[in-house]
Amino acid sequence: MVEWVCGVIRPQSGSEPSDDGLPGILIWLQQDGEIVGQTLCGPDGAASVVGESLRETLADLPKGEKAPSRVRVASTELAAALRQSHPNLEVECAPTPEVGAFEADIEDELAELADLPRYIQGNVTPHQVGAAFKAMESFYQTALWQHVPSEFANLELSIPDLNLPLAVVLVMGETNPQRGFVLLETPEAFRSHVLATAQNRHASVAPSLPAYKVAQLGPKASCPPTLAVEIEHHGWQILDGIYPAVLATRDDNTFESLSAGDWEAMEAVAHTLVEVAKEGESVARAGDGDEPFSKTVTVSTHARKVQVTFRAFDLMAVASRIHSGAVPPLGPNATTAAPEWSSGRDSTGQSTPYPNRPHNAFTSGGRDRRGKKGREARQKKH
């Protein structure tokens, strides 16, 4: 008889298993302790995914491997879910010490999972994240990228109430396979982005990047797996099965979670882009070389109403000045024909590179489609 063992292991928070909402990993072990499958699951969601997880694991079995005739689990909820989804399978509810032994064996990897960005952390609440996702859903429905004449639309944004006196938003455009937007919170970050666009096309090694925030609206496969688990747990999917991947970056090219203030800023940007879409023709003309187009609107975040001034401009005209060593002034009185005013470098005199396609920076960190790192090293050889 071939028996498998099934259980849930948790990321570590300090010296104890985490119970603060981090996803768990539903694992399938053979009798010799080798792992044959794993699935990320929400804090209380293992029973809802165990049936499909077993089907996927059986479908991925190497040729010649035998399917189990019996599965042992310690949880009565998992046992009931398995009996319902796999009625021809013998399910035994009994202790599973093999799961604890495996958990101890991969302690370092679990700590790594605990360090990954997530949505609900610190003082961020599900209400804040849900409100931001609703705003992004409204943005997605506008199909603003259809009005964008090139890969990115470029907008100045001023939201003083949210500590954004002058930011730049890049909307991923019609020729870009991803939908969403990038928020550069200072003119210096924008200048670094423009200076690095040409450099990075020929770079073989990713340079150090200035910080930015990004909302990528794509299918589940493009969303970091730990975030996808949170989205499913809270029911945050938006239209067309879109999973919003919303993250901030550090200067060392790694991602981090957003603060409560960051979430309100991204929510306000998404609402503003809905207003921008209403001026699609004027925005498109500005992007094609006409005079910049500006407008002041009031948008409502989950917490308050804020005033936003946005201005669409011709990126090519701005970029050509930056690459020639000058930057046109940003702000409501600026034009694409404005006189030169600075060197295009940051306050330290350095031109910090910035990725020309920041949305492509998402990776699953070497994890397989179930979100578990190092699967091949722990599976039996095919």
Name the residue with higher pLDDT: 98 or 315: 98
pLDDT at 73: 95
Residue 122 pLDDT greater than 50, yes or no: yes
**Domain match, 101 and 230 both:** no
Residue 121 inside a domain? The answer is no
**Domain match, 141 and 264 both:** yes
- The tokens describing 107, both together, are 């302690």
Alpha-helical regions (H) of the chain: 46-59, 76-85, 97-105, 107-114, 126-142, 187-200, 225-234, 260-278, 280-287, 315-323, 375-378
Domain count, the chain: 2
pLDDT tens sequence across 165-204: 999 898 886 666 678 999 999 888 887 777 765 565 555 5
Residue 253 inside a domain? The answer is yes
Residue 203 inside a domain? The answer is yes
Token pair 């790594």 is found at 112
Residue 23 pLDDT greater than 70, yes or no: no
> Residue 125: which of 133, 116, 114 has the closest Cα?
133
Let me know if 346 is exposed, middle or buried by CB neighbors in 10 A (0-12, 13-18, 19+).
Answer: middle
**Domain match, 159 and 207 both:** yes
pLDDT at 314: 65
Positive or negative, the CA dihedral 278, 144, 210, 253 is positive
Residue 369 inside a domain? The answer is no
When pLDDT is averaged across residues 77-95 and rounded to a whole number, the result is 95
**Domain match, 68 and 212 both:** no
pLDDT at 378: 32
Instruction: Tell how strand 70-73 and strand 3-9 pair up.
Output: parallel
Residue 371 inside a domain? The answer is no
When pLDDT is averaged across residues 129-134 and rounded to a whole number, the result is 96
**Domain match, 154 and 247 both:** yes
**Domain match, 90 and 226 both:** no
Residue 375 inside a domain? The answer is no
When pLDDT is averaged across residues 150-165 and rounded to a whole number, the result is 82
**Domain match, 151 and 110 both:** no
Residue 378 inside a domain? The answer is no
When pLDDT is averaged across residues 280-308 and rounded to a whole number, the result is 86
pLDDT tens sequence across 303-348: 999 999 998 876 655 555 555 555 444 554 454 332 222 222 333 3
Q: Which domain holds residue 315?
A: 126-361
Task: Say how far apart CA 185 and CA 167 lie, in whole Å.
Answer: 4
**Domain match, 83 and 104 both:** yes
**Domain match, 157 and 45 both:** no
Residue 145 inside a domain? The answer is yes
Q: What's the chain's average pLDDT?
A: 75
Residue 367 pLDDT greater than 90, yes or no: no
pLDDT at 313: 72
Task: Say how far apart CA 202 and CA 199 lie, in whole Å.
Answer: 6
Q: Are residues 233 and 45 in contact, defined by beta-carbon separation less than 8 angstroms?
A: yes
pLDDT at 87: 95
Task: Say how far apart CA 187 and CA 197 lie, in whole Å.
Answer: 16
Residue 374 pLDDT greater than 90, yes or no: no
The angle formed by the CA atoms of residues 302, 303 and 304, to the nearest 5 degrees, is: 110
**Domain match, 216 and 297 both:** yes
Helix or strand or coil: residue 278? helix
DSSP for 134-173 reads HHHHHHHHHTGGGG-SSSEEEEEEEEGGGTEEEEEEEEE-
**Domain match, 175 and 52 both:** no
> Residue 173: which of 37, 47, 284, 14 has the closest Cα?
284
Going by pLDDT thresholds of 50, 70 and 90, the confidence category of residue 298 is very high
CATH code for position 19: 3.30.420.230
Q: In angstroms, how far is CA 2 from the centroid of its own chain?
A: 40
Positive or negative, the CA dihedral 237, 239, 243, 248 is negative
Mean pLDDT is lowest, of 217-221, 270-274, 312-316, for 312-316
**Domain match, 143 and 101 both:** no
Residue 218 pLDDT greater than 80, yes or no: yes
Token pair 């570590």 is found at 12
Q: Are residues 35 and 6 in contact, defined by beta-carbon separation less than 8 angstroms?
A: no
